[in-house]
Amino acid sequence: MQFYGTEIKNRLLLGTAQYPSPKVLTQAIQACGTEIVTVSLRRESAGGSGDGFWEGLRATGCKILPNTAGCHTVQEAVTTAHMAREVFGTDWVKLEVIGHSDTLQPDVFALVEAARVLVRDGFQVFPYTTDDLVVGEKLLEAGCELLMPWGAPIGSGQGLRNPDALRAMRAHFPDIPLIVDAGIGRPSDACRAMELGMDAVLLNTAVAKAGDPLGMACAMVQAIEAGLAGFDADPMEPRDMAVPSTPVLGLAELG
């Protein structure tokens, strides 16, 4: 699997917010072996986690994926992305343009516009979007090389609210990397996403707020591996009727 030409082996992308301490965060990263972590420039600039946070992230060797969390307009998102590039020294950016304060649903119109601007400015954009096929097409036309459809509202832990839409995205974009982003609450949710043919899963709250973040991080990556293996094994399709596994021909007849 590749994201913008960078080969990725671990299909779990991990957020870095809300952990009990920087130490627990780095331990969770090491426990699951993730290669990519997301960081909000706005959150760190507004309060941050101190030197221990940055030292811990640098020590993991993970690739940083800055995000524009908290942005509600095109200008906010573009400005934040440029600041992040200066701070982190990467052209990668997870693009978020929030349109609804309660559900944190993306403003897909502003998202496409911001993506077009950032691609033109040399960014490699990871767009946080809905599961709408038309929006996905517009983002690819804008220059994005992957899509990050939500599973459910950010931090809700509701799992996959519309698996049929995700399945349709996989069928419609067979060669485009798809990363389920937001809403994953349990390992079974992550497994289900991979069984639908997704390429990776990005999550944060499910690990950060678990009673045992290290244990949950490990469980998530194992679930992702199991889901991927299940998808690759070409599982049977559901049936409306029961089908006996034992042949009825040759059964004994009682007279």
Give the CATH number for residue 212. 3.20.20.70
Residue 250 lies in a domain: no
Average pLDDT over residues 61-79: 94
* 94 counts as catalytic: yes
DSSP state of 158: -
Average pLDDT over residues 140-144: 97
**183 belongs to an annotated ligand binding site:** yes
**103 belongs to an annotated ligand binding site:** no
Residue 242 lies in a domain: no
Mean pLDDT score of the chain, rounded to an integer?
90
Domains of the chain: total: 1
Q: Is the pLDDT of residue 75 over 70?
A: yes
**155 belongs to an annotated ligand binding site:** yes
Lowest model confidence (mean pLDDT) among 36-45, 155-164, 203-212: 36-45
Choosing from 23, 94, 138, 209, the catalytic residue is 94
For 127-137, b/e burial (b = at least 16 CB within 10 A) is bbbbbbeebbe
User: Which residues, 6+ apart, have CB-to-CB distance to 24 below 8 Å?
Assistant: 213, 214
pLDDT band at 252 (very low <50, low <70, confident <90, very high): low
CB 217 within 8 A of CB 14: yes
Residue 210 lies in a domain: yes
Residue 176 lies in a domain: yes
Which token pair is 123? 């960014």
Q: What is the pLDDT of residue 36?
A: 96
